[in-house]
Chain A
Amino acid sequence: MAFKQITSPHAHAAQSTSKVMQLVIWATIPGLIALTVHFGWGSLINVILATITSVIAEAVIIKLRNRPVDFYLQDYSAVVTAVLLGLALPPLVAWWVVVIGSLFSIVVAKQLYGGLGYNPFNPAMVGYVVLLISFPIQMTTWVTPLALLPEAVSHPGLLESLQIVFAGVSPADGVTGATPLDSFKYADGLLVDQIYAQDPLFSQAGIAGVGWEWVNIGFLLGGLILLGSKTFTWHGPIAMLATIALMSALFWDGGSSNSPGSPLMHLFSGASMMGAFFIMTDPVSSAVSNRGRLIYGALIGLLVYVIRAWGTYPDAVAFAVLLANFAAPFIDNYSLPRTYGHTDRRRATEKEEG
């Protein structure tokens, strides 16, 4: 009788990387639904177009790298990147913007660094930032939330949306407009109360901004599902959101004309929730230990607020995440947990004595 020599442990939990990735994809659905309800078909088109581009790009590169295409596509990581990029892009943006962003994410930000597990930066955010810097007009034109559309104007239907995206047909007047963060950024000289009273984005909203608050609630819901399934720990997202809340409370400035906005507005506007639960939780490019992720999350929160309040861009999740990606290896060096039997935590750069 001869048997195989196999290393321990012999038992394995049923979890797999592709299942983790698929769960992340499913968890974006509440946010996607909220986007579609409040901003039309654009986001869904973005997601599908980005997914097709990304999967093809991934397959081609894997083929060029002489790796088994099936095996690597099965990890679903390209789909996750595509979905996140698609969700981040403005609805009804031209198709080539989506395609260029997807190609950049997959080819440059991911595969050229060695593929899954080796990318130092969040691929979706690299794609996003490249687009934002290269095509500022397309990237800052957001669709008006459903509730605020002018009378007799509605969101384009699916067919019309496709025409806008692929044939460059211009959407009707009033279909595009400012976001809550834009309103705050460009409403100089107004007290917060005045902005809230004058701008229908806020006057008709519940907690943060019409439509946007629901999108953020959608991503929060998806994020809680992932948290519940232990896809990631609470440390990163909570640190990021807590820092945003803390910073906006500290600089609330009594609602003066200089106030960058309330904690609630910041938490439920822009990409706050999506960033906290879907972007900064990308484990590959983040800090590794729980303590490290607390620092990493706080750093992102801090950067998000600083750029939103005093920078030139209305939202800042992508920049903040990329900057924190740079810092992650450094954070890792100083955030090792204390190992059993040791009195202190060690530094990763520590050298053995003697």
Chain B
Amino acid sequence: MKTWVTPGGVHPPENKHQSLTMPIGTLPLPEKLIIPLSQHIGVPANPCVQIGETVLKGQKIAEASGPLSVPMHAPTSGTVSAIEHRPIAHSSGMLSPCIEITPDGREQWIEHRGIDDFQHASSSALLKTISEAGIAGMGGAGFPTAVKLNAGHQRPINTLIVNATECEPYITADDSAIRERAQEIVQGISILSHILSNPSTILIGIEDNKPEAIAALKPHVEDTGIQVVSFPTKYPSGGEKQLVYILTGQEIPSGKLPADIGMLCVNIGTTFAIKRAVVDGEPLISRVTTMTGDACGINRNYETLIGTPVSHMLANSAFDEKACSRLVMGGPMMGFSLTSAEVPIVKTTNCILAPSFQEIPEDEPAQACIRCGMCAEACPVSLLPQQLFWYSQAKDYERLEAHNLFDCIECGACSYVCPSNIPLVQHYRHSKGEIQKARAEKIKSDHARERFEFHQQRIEQAEKDKEAKRTARREAAEKAKATAANNRETSAPGSAADIIAAAQARAAAKKISPEQQRAKFERSIAGAEMRVSMAEEKLAEADPNRTQEQENILHAAVESARQKLDQARLRLAEHNKAHHGEQVD
């Protein structure tokens, strides 16, 4: 079958033979298993077990929380011994919530059964099974598989691509899994095909440096419509974008997904997990992980329980810490260094690399960039890494975006060939982070500005409304005045006496009667009396240990209440005097 050639790429020493001398092995149970709640893109899963609770192998211990989350399952039977933050395998060395399980050694499975005849099961039922099994892309990104398939399900997928490229040096997890489990893998692909309503083309992309794996797949794909396509070995052919181009000659448009051009890519390890989930009803609790590097006496692949501490793997692989130049999770091109071996293996861990100083020496100090262009020749997506480096140093984000920084897949081919040992990828990661931060801040400040402008507008509007009302009132008043003036002019022209009379009449109308006035004074006297008695009570009841100051305040209160009472009585007396005659009358 025709394949296409990507630009650039590099040929680092493959170093795959070391870990392929033995079949996939198993490790003894570790003392503790640490299951991070976030092994995937998306929100961490929600623990659904308590500390001290006994769990069975395959029992769900954390629920998916949110659409991009997947559940976690106990990799073996035992007791939940801790739910807390632990260091996990992350390039930042950060802590993350984990469930710790102390195995009981019995490996007792929870009751489980698969779907007998998946060919007659509905896509949604199968997707639910895959989702419940906690399967997230095992190639590295950890994208929840059911979500990916569902998205694919909603758009027509005509090409299903199974990624068995494994282009990173050293890693042989997929290679060995295919050699030993080809039948189950093909079964997994059939399930995928069924879910995606049988896409017209199904391709397994694999580099030509894995003849045994290709031979193992061949008999199982006969009459299934699945094609095994091998192509020349070159790093990074296993990148999703690269593989799509190699197999189909089409490019995924920048910023789009393969599904946008009717394709879907799945890692071959994931297809095996899907088979296990659907046919056997087993959730994803283990995966094949390569243990390799010259600092380990034993190089081989292990079927590793999720949550196994890296230190446990090392301890069982004749590891020599002094000989180890660095500890890498993943391959030598894109893997990230671990600062501690206590971190656990997760669903995306395809390799633990413990190289010697001869294999991967300490980094040389970086020299000046002479813009030799070797990086541009190596770049698989046709960027100009030397320019990106230049503009990264200058923090010229506009230029960086114009040079398509965000199309960089961080494969490391440029850094690999750089004769000046410049850690180019690190510069790009940093710049990407800065640009994303700037973008987020811009969105935030845009929001703030909009809010502020809206606020301003509202205030202005309110002012305008008020002003309008004021104007209306003023106009009304002026109008009324004018009318009144007119009336006066017509009815009583210029009589001052009339005006005074009218004013007196209005005052008389307003005046309350002396009886009402007296009642008012009497009410205020009653109120004042009450306040005096309350103040006196307070003084009597107050704390015997009161301070002089407190006592003064209380006394003053009583005094002022009495004065007010006196004033009220006085006013009543004056009133009575003044209206005495009236009363008599």
Contact = CB atoms under 8 A, between A and B. Distances in A.
Interface of A: 1-13, 15-20, 71, 75, 77, 115-118, 230-233, 283-284, 286, 288-290, 332, 336-343, 346-352
B412 A8 contact: yes
Contacts, number: 188
B402 A349 contact: yes
Contacts of A8: 328, 330, 332-337, 410, 412, 415, 425
A288 B364 CA distance: 25
Interface string B176-215: 0000000000000000000000000000000000000000
Given A17-B419, A117-B368, A337 B326 contact: no
B254 A341 contact: yes
B382 A338 contact: yes
What does DSSP make chain B's interface, helix, strand, loop or mixed?
Answer: loop
Interface of B: 10, 12-13, 93, 169, 241, 245, 251-256, 311, 314, 321, 324-328, 330, 332-342, 353, 355, 360, 363-365, 367-374, 376-377, 380-384, 386-387, 398-399, 401-404, 407, 410, 412-413, 415-421, 423, 425-426
B332 A347 contact: no
A348 B326 CA distance: 38
Given A15-B419, A340-B251, A341-B407, A289 B376 contact: yes
Contact of B401 (A16, A288, A352): A352
23 contacts: A1-B327, A1-B340, A4-B326, A8-B328, A9-B415, A10-B332, A10-B333, A10-B353, A11-B12, A11-B416, A15-B374, A16-B419, A116-B367, A117-B370, A283-B371, A286-B371, A336-B384, A336-B403, A339-B383, A340-B251, A340-B382, A341-B253, A342-B404
A341 B256 contact: yes
Contacts of A10: 326, 328, 332-333, 335, 337, 353, 355, 360
A108 to B, nearest CB: 18
A342 B254 contact: yes
A-B pairs, 10 with minimum CB distance: A9-B412, A117-B368, A341-B254, A340-B381, A11-B332, A350-B402, A3-B327, A339-B404, A10-B332, A15-B419
A7 B423 contact: yes
A7 B425 contact: yes
Contacts of B337: 3-8, 10
A348 B403 CA distance: 6
Nearest to B391: A348
A342 B353 CA distance: 35
A16 B252 CA distance: 35
A117 B369 contact: yes
Nearest to B92: A5
Contacts of B365: 71
Contact of B372 (A71, A232, A336): A232
Given A10-B355, A341-B252, A1 B419 contact: no
Most chain B Cβ neighbours within 10 Å, of A18, A339, A347, A350: A339
B407 A9 contact: no
A158 B122 CA distance: 92
Nearest to B390: A288
Contacts of B404: 339, 342, 346
A5 B384 contact: no
Contacts of B381: 339-341
Contacts of A2: 339-340
B92 to A, nearest CB: 9
Contacts of A6: 326, 337, 363
Contact of A339 (B325, B368, B382): B382
Nearest to A21: B370
Contacts of B418: 12
A16 to B, nearest CB: 5
A3 B415 contact: no
Of residues B380, B410, B416, which shows the largest number of chain A Cβ atoms within 10 Å of its Cβ? B416
Contacts of A336: 384, 402-403
A339 B421 contact: no
Contacts of B374: 15, 230
Contacts of A351: 398, 402
B519 to A, nearest CB: 76
Contacts of B425: 7-9
A219 to B, nearest CB: 20
Contacts of A352: 398, 401-402
Given A3-B338, A6-B337, A19 B419 contact: yes
B370 A283 contact: yes
A12 B326 CA distance: 14
Nearest to B383: A339
A13 B10 contact: yes
Contacts of B342: 1
Nearest to B386: A288
A166 B372 CA distance: 37
Residue from the set B326, B364, B419 with the largest chain A CB neighbour count within 10 Å:
B419
Nearest to A292: B384
A298 B161 CA distance: 44
Contacts of B363: 6, 12
Contact of B339 (A3, A75, A77): A3
A232 to B, nearest CB: 7
Contacts of B333: 8-11
A12 B245 CA distance: 26
A9 B332 contact: yes
Contacts of B338: 3
Contacts of A118: 368
Given A10-B326, A11-B360, A288 B373 contact: yes
B377 A75 contact: no
B558 to A, nearest CB: 74
Contacts of A77: 370
B339 A5 contact: yes
A341 B339 contact: no
Contacts of A231: 372
Contacts of A233: 373, 377
Contacts of A15: 374, 417, 419
Contacts of A286: 371
Contact of B407 (A5, A283, A339): A339
Contacts of B398: 351-352
B241 A340 contact: yes
Contacts of A19: 419
B314 to A, nearest CB: 8
B373 A232 contact: yes
Given A10-B353, A12-B416, A340-B382, 14 more contacts: A3-B337, A3-B341, A7-B337, A8-B328, A8-B425, A12-B363, A116-B367, A117-B369, A117-B370, A288-B371, A288-B384, A339-B254, A341-B381, A347-B402
